[in-house]
Amino acid sequence: MYKIKYIRIGVFLSINNIKLDIEYIRSQFPAFKDPTCKDWSFFENAGGSYVPQTVIDKLNKFMISTKVQPYADYPMSKIAGNQMDESTKLFAEMINAKNNEILIGGSTSINLYVLSNALKSFISPGDEIIVTNQDHEANISPWRRLSESGAKIVEWKMNEKTAELEIEEFEKLLTNKTKIVAVTHCSNIVGSVNNLKKISELSHKKGAIVIGDGVSFAPHGFPNVKNLDVDFYTFSLYKTYGPHLALLYGKEKILKQLPNQNHEFLSGQYPYTINPGGPNHEELVSLSGIYDYILSIYNYHFGNDELSILEKIEKVNQLITSHEEEIANPILDYISCRDDLILIGKNKINNKDRAPTIAFYSKKMSSKSLSALLVKNKIATRNDNFYAWRCLNALGLDPNDGVVRLSMTHYNSIEDTKNLLNALKSI
């Protein structure tokens, strides 16, 4: 890495030449030194990511000294409760939400399922709900099920040639009857980033609520939910360097109105009203280790200064984006140039219009065989439909054999890219 001198007058004037220091980044993740993982190039990040030491430390510490029922008056319990509140507060800050606008549940699938049950009461017969055929099923089935309450389900279909969701098509589907729009921020197969801000703006003009699935977006830089102006936004923390949990954000004014899905006496206590069972305590506490990790990336590259956490995240996101472009674009280019391989989605990341989540298949062999060959070459990947079952069907692919998915994140290195290209060349 090369750091350049910057001129600081309240803010940095230039970060153009600061690059993500991949050695520093990888040194934060014990997996890269672990005997089981260290010889592998890890390309399954969209399935679940490795965790930094900061997260492991928080989890360990909690388990040793404060693994008791929180919020009582004895010290261990008080500390446990305070740490849980602190983690929630820090995560809310990171995505520009209020503390009472986020909840931590077991997974995105369960969070959306509970949310859809709550939103059922907003639906009258004849109301319309827009779902896509690009999303993971977690953001489709719960909304489709509202047809049982009389909702008409309208499908926003991808362009079959490009696999993109086109805004012009969406505009044709929106009507005064549209009540809910459920759309992914980034597809876990196509990799494309959808313009959620624009989708929200158009939907709000019709009075519809927007549910954004950020599971494939958030690992590449935490979003600012207020800028996106979505009504609900969700992502899985086990893919953003944490344990197996998921975050759901909701606008306070809507959360307040949702019917209680939790114990009867908790009525009115949003967001717990849509978090039955509550979070896993120790894992929730470990989430503050993600905050520490992101902050450490900022401090290492830019120095400790007075910028707000949102400004710091914005700068860290820029570093991550440039690095991800550097490591993923050669792969996109190579696959798209091979006659026997079919790439899904754009063949280049340009200005974060695509995540480094690369799905493809072969004309000559099954995705299962192709992924087995890559695994033999110490590329950790797999074939599957990744629960984007409708997306694969729409593209005319067999959801059982699926596609091979190479999903990278900021801790992948250019060596991983070379290993992958060598493996592909040998096939």
Ligand X SMILES: Cc1ncc(COP(=O)(O)O)c(C=O)c1O
Instruction: Tell the smallest beta-carbon distance from residue 236 to ligand X (Å).
Output: 4
- Residues 6 or more apart whose CB falls under 8 angstroms from that of 199 comprise 167, 170, 181, 183, 210, 212
Task: Find the helix or strand (DSSP H, E) in which 25 lies.
Answer: helix 22-27
Q: Report the alpha-carbon distance of residue 126 to residue 153 in Å, rounded.
A: 10
Does 403 help bind ligand X (rule: CB under 6 A)?
no
Does 218 help bind ligand X (rule: CB under 6 A)?
no
Does 213 help bind ligand X (rule: CB under 6 A)?
yes
Does 107 help bind ligand X (rule: CB under 6 A)?
yes
Does 216 help bind ligand X (rule: CB under 6 A)?
yes
Q: Of 49-57, 81-89, 135-143, 248-256, which part binds ligand X (CB under 6 A)?
A: 135-143
According to DSSP, residue 104 is labeled: E
- Residues 6 or more apart whose CB falls under 8 angstroms from that of 402 comprise 367, 383, 384, 385, 386, 392
CB-nearer residue toward ligand X: 195 or 322: 195
Q: Report the alpha-carbon distance of residue 182 to residue 142 in Å, rounded.
A: 10
Does 184 help bind ligand X (rule: CB under 6 A)?
yes
Does 246 help bind ligand X (rule: CB under 6 A)?
yes
Q: Of 7-15, 85-93, 105-113, 202-210, which part binds ligand X (CB under 6 A)?
A: 105-113
Tokens at residue 70, please?
Answer: 């929180």
Extract the runs of DSSP E, i.e. beta strands, from 21-177. Answer: 41-42, 102-105, 128-132, 152-156
Q: Of 74-82, 103-111, 224-232, 365-373, which part binds ligand X (CB under 6 A)?
A: 103-111
Instruction: Tell me the site size for ligand X, rule CB under 6 A.
Output: 13
Owner of token pair 């050695």: 23
Extract the runs of DSSP E, i.e. beta strands, from 319-366. Answer: 341-343, 357-362
Q: Report the alpha-carbon distance of residue 150 to residue 126 in Å, rounded.
A: 6
Q: Of 19-27, 51-59, 106-114, 334-342, which part binds ligand X (CB under 6 A)?
A: 106-114
Residues 56-95 that bind ligand X (CB under 6 A): none
Extract the runs of DSSP E, i.e. beta strands, from 291-422. Answer: 341-343, 357-362, 379-380, 382-384, 403-407
Q: Of 131-139, 154-162, 318-326, 415-423, which part binds ligand X (CB under 6 A)?
A: 131-139
Q: How far is CA 304 from CA 113, 128, 297, 299, 313, in A?
A: 41, 49, 10, 5, 13
Does 192 help bind ligand X (rule: CB under 6 A)?
no
Residues 315-374 that bind ligand X (CB under 6 A): none
Does 136 help bind ligand X (rule: CB under 6 A)?
yes
Does 408 help bind ligand X (rule: CB under 6 A)?
no
Owner of token pair 């000559």: 364
Does 132 help bind ligand X (rule: CB under 6 A)?
no
Does 108 help bind ligand X (rule: CB under 6 A)?
yes
Instruction: Tell the smallest beta-carbon distance from residue 193 to ligand X (Å).
Output: 12
Does 282 help bind ligand X (rule: CB under 6 A)?
no
Does 116 help bind ligand X (rule: CB under 6 A)?
no
- Residues 6 or more apart whose CB falls under 8 angstroms from that of 221 comprise 313, 316, 317, 320, 321, 352
Does 134 help bind ligand X (rule: CB under 6 A)?
no
| Interacting residues with ligand X (CB under 6 A) | 107-109, 136, 138-139, 184, 188, 213, 215-216, 236, 246
